[in-house]
């Protein structure tokens, strides 16, 4: 299954590279920019988590220890967060445990959400234009986005819904006969009580 998934990712990356190229004028992503890895819940399917685990296994021992420490701290932080009262729609957002010194230690094995982050697209399920959060930090699309009127002034928006569930249910994914399983926030995959 993971070999088929790698072939699928190779095809997906070519499509995403095309989208990034078409939107390059609006995108400021570069090596060392890790705004997208600093505040999220990072949804991963079971298949993606298995692939990511393969990347973790291949890390040098010292990096594995750092990631394990990050995960343990985040699980404790999440438990403390859950013990406090929050609105139902609030989510526990955190730094990705694989982000070390502003770099992803498992970049080749990163999830679909990580691969698509930075692009804008129309979410037909939710009925709105989805922009990366970094638009609010003066990064991607910020020069072309009118936040007051919620209007984006660009010529090209991908004609594809880049939500993780939509990608994993796409015709391309079906071609590779992927069984992706449940989608959960990354920390939920590490929490053995689930």
> Which among 126, 90, 112, 135 has a CA at the least distance from the CA of 42?
112
The domain locations on the chain are: 2-190
Q: Would you write out the chain's pLDDT as a tens digit for each of its 194 residues?
A: 899 999 999 999 999 999 999 988 999 887 767 888 988 999 999 999 999 999 999 999 999 999 999 999 999 999 999 888 777 778 999 999 999 999 999 999 999 999 999 999 888 877 788 888 888 888 899 999 988 888 888 877 877 899 999 999 999 999 999 999 999 999 999 986 44
| Residue-level pLDDT at 193 | 47
b/e code 144-176 from CB counts within 10 Å (16+ = b): ebeeeeeebeeeebbebbbbbebbbebeebeeb
| Residue-level pLDDT at 184 | 95
E strand spans, the chain: 43-45, 99-100, 103-104, 121-123, 128-130, 145-146, 151-152, 183-185
| Residue-level pLDDT at 192 | 60
| Residue-level pLDDT at 45 | 96
Give the global pTM. 0.89
Secondary structure letter of residue 122 according to DSSP: E
| Residue-level pLDDT at 156 | 78
Cα 114 → chain centroid = 3
> Which among 109, 145, 140, 128 has a CA at the least distance from the CA of 23?
140
| Residue-level pLDDT at 35 | 81
Phi, psi of 28 (to 5 degrees): -115, 15
């Amino acid at each position: 299954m993971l070999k088929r998934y790698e072939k699928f990712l190779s095809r997906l990356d070519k499509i995403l590279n095309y989208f990034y190229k078409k939107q390059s004028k609006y995108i400021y992503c570069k090596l060392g920019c890790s705004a997208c890895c600093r505040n999220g819940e990072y949804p991963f399917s079971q298949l993606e988590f298995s692939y990511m685990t393969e990347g973790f296994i291949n890390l040098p021992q010292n990096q594995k220890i750092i990631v394990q420490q990050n995960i343990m701290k985040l699980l404790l932080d999440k438990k403390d967060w859950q013990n406090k009262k929050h609105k139902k729609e609030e989510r526990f957002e955190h730094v990705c445990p694989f982000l070390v010194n502003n770099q992803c230690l498992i970049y080749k094995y990163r999830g679909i959400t990580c691969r698509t982050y930075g692009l804008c697209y129309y979410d037909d399920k939710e009925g709105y234009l989805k922009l990366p959060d970094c638009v609010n930090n003066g990064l991607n699309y910020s020069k072309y986005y009118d936040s007051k009127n919620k209007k984006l002034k660009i010529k090209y928006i991908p004609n594809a819904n880049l939500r993780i569930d939509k990608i994993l249910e796409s015709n391309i994914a079906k071609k590779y006969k992927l069984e992706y399983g449940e989608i959960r926030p990354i920390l939920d995959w590490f929490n053995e009580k689930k």
